[in-house]
A and B are shown apart, each in its own frame.
Chain A
Amino acid sequence: MEFVFLLEQVVNGLVLGGYYLLLALGLSLIFSFGGIVNLAHGAFYALGAYVSLEVMKHVGFGPSIFITPLLVGLLGILFERYLLRRFYTADPILSLLVTFALAMVAEQFIRMVWGAAPLASNMPEVFKGRTMLGEFMFSKYRLFILGVVTIVMVGIWLLLHKTAFGRVVRAGAQRPDMVAALGIRLQPYMTAVVVLGVATAALGGVMFGPIAVVHPAMGTEIMTVAFVVVVIGGLGSFWGVVLAALLVGVVRGITIHFQPAAGEASMYVLMFLVLIFRPRGLLGERIERFE
């Protein structure tokens, strides 16, 4: 029985890891391709949760899963076009400062518009409750999240690996100068990558709103985990981020099973170990311009 309980934590950790993935993948893409550490990524996650509350008032939960990431993605266009674009070739510390400032501005903006008090976001009744698969207990809603994450991840993988668009993005991450020499302008691709990253973060906000509290600082909270995942996974690798997100979820679950008080510390210990033994991250590619 003890083993079943442990396995249950592992499976639950995988589900949670899938949700971390929604945030970490965009962060990793924007960094790999644009060389920008987007500290404002969490802000788009929080905006996703808040915007979905408004969208849900009019069209309900289902459509908001599609509409909200689109709306926040549009914001992403402005974000890339008017802010990020100025910093691709600048000292990285500048983009760090700008996105950090933007994260604070966004948090205060949310406070001013929606107030500091946490808001209630309820999931549709059909998703409430649990479902049993043999000995395992799952929350129906989390299984639904897992399904959505899987679809999104397969979509992104196909986009990056099976389309002309993806080839340019992957080449651009490695050798932007070479891609430019071939006569391809990278800027529209960068816009698309940022929109993709920001929209998946917003989707994370939409999906997690009904589980947790929607509050202004939720973006800051999630950023720490997202960063840990990116660092563990390694830059430039799709599967690295996937592996790291699942690993962080599972390690947290197992730690809580044995030593609940150490649950939150576990992912930092994991990051520490990875940094010591494999500084590039689990599946990180060597990207010349960052070395």
Chain B
Amino acid sequence: MGSDTKDSSALLPSSKRRNVLMAGAALAGASALGFPTFVFGQVDKIKIGHLTPLTGFLGALGEYAVMGIRMAAEEINAAGGVMGRQLDVMSEDSVNPQVASSKAQRMIERDNVVLLMGEINSASALTISQVAARNKKLFLSIGARSDALRGKDCNRYTFHVDIPVTVMVNAVGQALVRDNMVKDKKIYSLTADYLFGHDLSRQAKKFFAANGGNQIGDELVATDVTDFSPYLLKIRQAKPDLVATNLAGNQVTNFVKQYAEFGLPYPVVGFNLNTADAWAAGEGNLGGIWPTVWHHDLQTPGSKAFVAAFTKKYNKVPENHAWIEYVSLKILAQAMNATKSTDTEKLIAYFESEAQFDILKARKAYFRSWDHQLMQEAFPFTVKPKGQAKGKYDFLKFGEAVPAANQPLELLAPTKAESLCKM
């Protein structure tokens, strides 16, 4: 062994070693700061502050988010920008609600961004939305789904792009009721222990109660749990008819994999699963019904073109967070072009006019004026029978859009009477 180490020292003289180390450190530093931004750029650029988790249990989704918004910014800038000005999107890791809040404040005060956008974590979206309201700046909350954000915590400076928890519960719930899996059934739930999970759990319980389901258990699970085996033993003890999960991010993947590992017989469904997390679970581990806001299999001309361009650019299939960030920047560009302004009040007025946006789905979307929620189609998905998948991104089977083409878009969303939102 002694001679081995001598050999490797001869291969790596000390000066070179230092260079390698320094290069490594510089690379790590650069990527920790997020993608390069051009803060020294000309004054006429439109600066946009973009925060999203790039580390932690939602980090993988955040990476897709950055890829999506970057692609939109490049397309818009290549086509001449907005009102002849280039868009300059500063993407940073929002880390946690506290850091997200201080970064948002810094972006407004020091970097002079005209508005904020992004986020996936509902708790971070809440703190950013408070900063935005205090500073009277627009915040386009893109990937956060908690009902509270557009309910009791709503404010007139924040607009919400992703589908809210109520829509996710209703989209899957309808399918469950149709398959006779709710009425008089024993339902056991696991819930992510933070704002979003609690919201999801509340809506799910409401839905089950309204449809005759019998909730026999609902346990909170910390967001950093990777081993679910003790929870699986509890599920086995409870002998439910249905396991309904309110988990988030990596949690869902870990749970699904370990559920398959233990091979429990009870059907599993869930009210939240992003396609990236589903892919990570792998074929053969996932089953049940889940909701999504968009999927790469959607056969509209816009979606097909987006998937092709994204796959060409990044050499991977876009996930729903890549799509939503992409269309969000396009929505914003449309609003700026239409109002010929980056002024907060004018943009709010434009969004509140319920203007229509092409979001690459069959039906156009619009923001509801009273709670600032984007109204759009959602999709339930299941898993293809074994052996039908063509490749590791292909084992999910996407259902028809809900609400159906002949139903109003607001059908699954919370009604004004239910909502606690007062602007």
Contact = CB atoms under 8 A, between A and B. Distances in A.
Interface string A229-251: 00000000000000000000000
Contacts of B279: 117, 120
A200 interface: no
B230 A12 contact: yes
Given A130-B262, A212-B227, A108 B28 contact: yes
B222 interface: yes
A142 B229 contact: yes
B31 A217 contact: no
B311 interface: no
Interface stretch (B231-239, B293-301, B366-374): B231-239
Interface stretch (A26-34, A63-71, A252-260, A277-285): A252-260
B396 to A, nearest CB: 13
A211 interface: yes
A157 interface: no
A39 to B, nearest CB: 15
A170 interface: no
Interface of B: 1-2, 4-5, 8-9, 12, 17, 24-25, 27-28, 31-32, 54-56, 59-60, 62-64, 193, 219-222, 224-227, 229-231, 233-234, 236-237, 250, 253-254, 257-258, 260-264, 276-277, 279-282, 284-285, 316, 319, 392
Contacts of A217: 55-56, 59
A54 interface: no
B59 A116 contact: yes
A141 interface: yes
A122 interface: yes
9 contacts: A81-B8, A117-B316, A120-B281, A120-B282, A142-B229, A211-B227, A216-B59, A260-B220, A263-B225
Contacts of B231: 256, 260
A128 B60 contact: no
A168 interface: no
Given A112-B31, A213-B250, A260-B221, A119 B280 contact: yes
Contact of A264 (B224, B261, B284): B224
B12 A141 contact: no
Contacts of B234: 256-257, 260
Given A9-B233, A16-B227, A137 B12 contact: no
A215 interface: yes
Nearest to B28: A108
A150 interface: no
Nearest to B8: A78
Contacts of A116: 54, 59-60, 62-63
A117 B250 contact: no
Contacts of B226: 212-213, 218, 221
Given A108-B28, A260-B221, A77 B227 contact: no
B254 A212 contact: yes
A261 B233 contact: no
Given A77-B5, A211-B257, A253 B230 contact: yes
Contacts of A218: 226
A13 B5 contact: no
A191 B31 contact: no
> Which residue of B4, B233, B260 has the most chain A CB atoms within 10 A of its CB atom?
B233
Nearest to B221: A260
Contacts of B253: 118, 213
Interface in A201-226: 210-218, 221
Nearest to A101: B25
Contacts of B260: 128
Contact of A128 (B5, B56, B261): B261
B324 to A, nearest CB: 16
Interface residues of A, number: 55
B60 A118 contact: yes
Interface string A103-131: 01100110110011111111100001110
Nearest to A261: B220
Contact of A5 (B4, B233, B257): B233
A256 B222 CA distance: 11
B183 to A, nearest CB: 27
A5 to B, nearest CB: 5
A72 to B, nearest CB: 15
B349 to A, nearest CB: 38
Given A112-B27, A116-B63, A117-B64, A137 B4 contact: no
A192 B230 contact: no
Nearest to A127: B261
B60 A117 contact: yes
Nearest to B64: A117
A275 to B, nearest CB: 22
A188 interface: yes
Nearest to A195: B1
B254 A122 contact: no
A191 B9 CA distance: 14
A163 interface: no
B210 to A, nearest CB: 26
B280 A120 contact: yes
Closest 3 A/B residue pairs (Cβ):
A120-B282, A129-B263, A256-B230
Contacts of A15: 229
Contacts of B59: 116, 215-217
Nearest to A118: B280
B63 A12 contact: no
Contacts of B64: 117
A108 B59 CA distance: 13
Nearest to B219: A260
